[in-house]
Amino acid sequence: MTAALKFTVLLLTLVCGRGQLFNDIDYFDEEVKPAVLDSKYGSLWPLPQKVKISEVSFKLTSASFKIVDAKDSSAGPSCSLLKDAYRRYYEHMFGIAKRQQLSKSRRTGPSELTELQVWITSPDSECDGYPSVTSDESYELVVDQPYAVLKAPKVWGALHGLETFSQLVYEDEYGAKSINTTQISDFPRFAHRGILLDTSRHYLPIKVILANLETMAMNKINVFHWHIVDDQSFPYLSRTFPQLSQQGAYHPYTHVYTPADVKMVIEFARLRGIRVIPEFDTPGHTQSWGKGQKDLLTPCYSGSEPSGTFGPVNPILNTTYDFMSQFFKEISTVFPDAYMHLGGDEVDFSCWKSNPDIQKFMAQHGFGDDYSKLESYYIQKLLNIVSSTSKGYMIWQEVFDNGVKLKPDTIIHVWKGNQEQYQSEMAKVTSSGYQTLLSTPWYLNRISYGQDWRGHYKADPQDFQGTEEQKKLVVGGEACLWGEFVDATNLTPRLWPRASAVAERLWSAKEVTDVNDAFSRLSVHRCRLVERGIPAEPLFSSFCPREYKGV
């Protein structure tokens, strides 16, 4: 602590009292330590697997630079996904001004880079397809004269390569743009790199969802886990059961996601290489479902009389499974991804225990007083229903913990406990041969004063006791932003750039752990997000060359 700071502490002690002050000063002392040295990797985020940047630089101008298909690219001029990406990244680099034709009187100099050629090398570019958990997202980027070349087997890698190229562009104090000679070979460490947004506790306008999908692409995050309904509201407008949102949404017209809205989100995400995985969580978290679907929820009892309240989905009625069969058949056709998330967490058994019909059913099936067996009975039947739609499923860890019979390709989503507990859970899940995702250390709705991104950055989904084969069963992780205290007013700044820390952990090599280097790159990356119109929170005291101007 410097002499000046010690003197300040002495003065403040007289005013504030010693105990609380020194708690604050200790914390403050830690916070003033982040390195401010420039990273040798510039502002690349997430850090590519292999990077070589030289000091030789080329100028870029909006008048002469263009992004084009390479001559031998399999995507061809008809690939609208790439054409849309070329336009988007040109605007990221040069603004929205239209590119002007190079005048005959102006010649490009030897130090000017005028072209990025994008070469899709696989015969099937997947331009018209949807990204999946097995998609090839690798790419190679070479920036040199006479032009830069971006090679990728599939369009998904090309999208990431375009983002990387845009991050290599920098400008001097006069606004002139340059890029250095660079060689990059890159691919993600994990196939599933997700963000969960909750649209039930608070309705999120489509505009907000799309803006965050755009930001996800800027961080190479490739899964939007859409926790679309919950106890509080049912904003999904079902074609088969329109009464669910008519009765269960906060408002049946202004606070719902229509089929056209859902289709828009899925296509917007596809064009950025992002999968959309919906979550319809049952048998708990379903109070909003019961408002529009009679007899779906369990009537709770007070003594021998119904209390007028309802609990989880009623697992003993055939009508329950008839409804679920029709509903999930619809979901399987609306959402193209091979997986859907079925929830299965936090089931409160108290209502089931109070219901005499449930008690009788328990006795008939030999479940005794173990209501987790009743939950497993329901989940098993639901999983069979979903399997009949040819979809795979993800479930929260409680379903695995309760011993439900699961398909071999089931993905177990770990979210509970402290570090020791979630590491133990990851070991149990993988030792049973199941694939798993981690979210426990990445609940971004939990906030604290200071640089909590560093804790998110240090957490690693493969840090648990297990064999290499077990580690390979970790398909990735997700940052979760639950919506109790989050709506359109604060979602984006709360999410970014904290989610960027998770993005690098899931993309970059395991050895990329230098927090000081990360701080340097992330600070500039955050300013880049701000320049692109994203109100990402600052990491610490600083300024951006172009500050956020609001909407």
- Model pLDDT, residue 9: 35
**Is residue 539 within 8 Å of residue 31, measured between CB atoms?**
no
Question: In which band, very low, low, confident or very high, does the pLDDT at 542 lie, cut at 50, 70 and 90?
Answer: confident
DSSP codes joined into one string, 396-409: EHHHHHTT----TT
Catalytic one of 171, 267, 346, 469: 346
Predicted pLDDT of residue 12: 37
pLDDT in tens, 235-269: 999 999 999 999 999 999 999 999 999 999 999 99
526, pLDDT greater than 70 = yes
Instruction: Tell me the average pLDDT across 347-358.
Output: 95
Token pair of 542, please? 């600083």
Burial level of 416, CB count in 10 A (0-12/13-18/19+)?
A: middle
Q: Which of 99, 98, 88 is nearest to 64 (CA)?
A: 99
pLDDT (tens digit per residue) in 31-42: 444 545 789 999
Of residues 59 and 27, the one with the higher pLDDT is 59
pLDDT above 80: residue 178: yes
pLDDT tier for residue 123 given thresholds of 50, 70 and 90? very high
- The pLDDT of residue 107 is 52
Helices and strands in the chain: count of H runs, count of E runs = 19, 17
CA-based radius of gyration for the chain: 26
Backbone CA torsion sign across 72, 74, 79, 81: negative
The pLDDT of residue 492 is above 70: yes
How large is the average pLDDT for residues 525-538?
95
What's the pTM value of the predicted model, to 2 decimals? 0.91
Give the model confidence (pLDDT) of 414-455 as tens digits. 999 999 999 999 999 999 999 999 999 999 999 988 999 999
d(CA 131, CA 336): 10
Report how far residue 220's alpha carbon sits from residue 519's, in angstroms, rounded to the nearest whole number.
18
Q: What's the CA gap between 503 and 442, in Å, rounded?
A: 11
- Whether residue 47 contacts residue 521, with contact meaning beta carbons closer than 8 Å, is answered with yes
Question: Using CA atoms, how far apart are residues 60 and 510, in angstroms rounded to an integer?
Answer: 34
Instruction: Clarify whether 115 is annotated catalytic.
Output: no
Count CB-CB contacts under 10 A for residue 450.
14
* pLDDT at residue 501 in the model: 98
3-state secondary structure of 543: coil
Q: Which residues pair with 195 in a beta bridge?
A: 224, 479
* Cβ proximity of 201 and 230 under 8 Å: yes
Mean pLDDT of the chain: 91
Reported confidence tier of residue 546, pLDDT bands at 50, 70, 90: confident
What pLDDT was estimated at residue 403? 87
Compute the average pLDDT of residues 173-190: 94
pLDDT of 4 over the 70 cut: no
Average pLDDT over every residue of 73-84: 93
Q: What is the pLDDT of residue 10?
A: 37
pLDDT score, position 29: 38
Q: What is the pLDDT of residue 97?
A: 53
The type of residue at 44 is L
- C-beta of residue 276 within 8 angstroms of C-beta of residue 269: yes
Say whether the peptide bond before residue 131 is cis (omega within 30 degrees of 0).
Answer: no
Cα angle at 440 between 456 and 271, to 5 degrees? 70
How many other CB atoms are found less than 10 A from the CB of residue 316?
Answer: 18
Share of the chain above pLDDT 70, in %: 91
Mean pLDDT, residues 231-236 taken together: 98
CB–CB of 365/353 below 8 Å? no
Number of alpha carbons in the 13 Å side-chain half-sphere of residue 421 = 10
Using CA atoms, how far apart are residues 282 and 540, in angstroms rounded to an integer? Answer: 41
The tally of CA atoms less than 13 A away on the side-chain side of residue 91 is 11
187-199 pLDDT, tens per residue?
999 999 999 999 9
Residue 550 pLDDT:
78
